[in-house]
């Protein structure tokens, strides 16, 4: 009864129209989460949450505390779940390093592209941001490689970019904020690890350098202000390294104004190194306050 009453009150507070579809994804249906006080005259970013190996979308968004974005009327949110493998563990077919271990080769890029396109056709969506952890980080990078036309920015956490950089051909620049712990043993900060094929996944630095190159940035970095992001590790353990990037090239489909224009946005690639943090950072309460302002600053 109490749960039903809460659900009724939440529904009553929302002004979201009932004639728009709420479920998307075809044979892998997933519900779109709507801003609590949805305003049909406004537009909102869409956050696509991609889960890690062996968990599902619901668990991943709970771990990141990212559902708070809908409660704060900040964004649409969708957290799909990949197919289950022969060990009944959900995965994404992102890269040879992770995590289609059965070689079933599902078209996850096509599925996600159709999912976000259908949502954007039905609801007032501005930017599409992709946030992924572990296997979901690999998938975020893969999606940016193959469908940069749909993505404004990605936030890969504890994963890696393409094992073979030659396979990644983004059609437009994509902003990248990569978070990675130095004590991660599943996908180590320096690369390799127990998952996937020899020699294993690229490391955090190699991943961000790969995208700095793709986005036309310098391969040297400047240090940002340290952040206390992991509640398990004492102190301000997270140090941003910011690659020197330029305005988008002329004719880019990114559609950003040139440097110096009003509200102009630079391309941005950053690596947030989390000293002493393991594969599962303790940041359920800190993730959104730290990362959401960064995402909002990186729009098309």
**Interval 253-265: pLDDT, tens:** 443 333 322 244 5
Q: Is the pTM of this model over 0.85?
A: yes
48-93: pLDDT as tens digits: 999 999 999 999 999 999 999 999 999 999 999 999 999 999 999 9
Give the angle 84-81-148 at the CA atoms, nearest 5°: 115
Q: What percent of the chain has pLDDT over 90?
A: 77
Q: pLDDT value at position 4?
A: 37
287-299: pLDDT as tens digits: 999 999 999 999 8
The conformation of residue 37, written as its DSSP 8-state character, comes to: T
Gap between the Cα atoms of 13 and 71, Å rounded = 11
2-254+264-296: CATH number = 3.40.50.1820
Gap between the Cα atoms of 242 and 170, Å rounded = 21
Question: Would you say residue 249 has pLDDT above 60?
Answer: no
212-243: pLDDT as tens digits: 999 999 888 999 999 999 999 999 999 999 99
Question: Would you say residue 199 has pLDDT above 80?
Answer: no
Whole-angstrom distance between the N-terminal and C-terminal Cα of the chain? 44
Show the beta-strand stretches assigned E in the chain.
Answer: 23-24, 30-31, 44-50, 76-78, 125-133, 153-157, 175-181, 221-223, 238-243, 269-274
134-164: pLDDT as tens digits: 999 999 999 999 999 999 999 999 999 999 9
Gap between the Cα atoms of 257 and 238, Å rounded = 31
């Amino acid at each position: 009864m109490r749960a039903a009453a809460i659900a009724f009150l939440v529904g009553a507070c929302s002004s979201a129209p009932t004639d728009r579809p709420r479920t998307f994804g075809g044979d892998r249906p997933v519900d779109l989460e709507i801003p609590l006080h949805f305003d049909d005259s406004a537009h909102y970013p869409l956050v696509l949450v991609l889960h890690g190996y062996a968990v599902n979308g619901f668990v991943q968004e709970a771990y990141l505390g990212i559902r708070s974005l809908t409660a704060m009327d900040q964004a649409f949110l969708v957290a799909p779940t990949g197919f289950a493998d022969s060990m009944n563990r959900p995965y994404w077919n992102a890269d040879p390093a992770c995590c289609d271990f059965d070689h079933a080769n599902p078209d996850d890029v096509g599925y996600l592209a159709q999912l976000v396109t259908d949502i954007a056709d039905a609801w007032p969506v501005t930017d599409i941001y992709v946030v992924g952890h572990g296997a979901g980080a690999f998938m975020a990078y893969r999606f940016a490689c193959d469908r940069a036309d749909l993505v404004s920015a990605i936030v890969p956490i504890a994963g890696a970019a393409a094992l073979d950089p030659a396979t990644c051909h983004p059609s437009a620049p994509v902003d990248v904020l990569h978070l990675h712990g130095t004590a991660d043993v599943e996908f180590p900060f320096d690369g390799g690890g127990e998952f996937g094929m020899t020699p294993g996944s690229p490391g955090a630095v190699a991943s961000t350098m790969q995208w700095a190159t793709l986005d036309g940035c310098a391969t040297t970095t400047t240090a940002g202000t340290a952040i206390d992001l992991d509640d398990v590790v004492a102190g301000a353990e997270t140090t941003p390294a910011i690659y020197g990037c330029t305005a988008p090239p002329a004719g880019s489909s990114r559609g950003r104004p040139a440097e110096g224009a009003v509200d102009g946005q630079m391309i941005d690639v950053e690596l947030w190194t989390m000293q002493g943090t393991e594969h599962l950072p303790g940041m359920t309460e800190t993730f959104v306050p730290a990362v959401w302002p960064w995402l909002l600053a990186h729009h098309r």
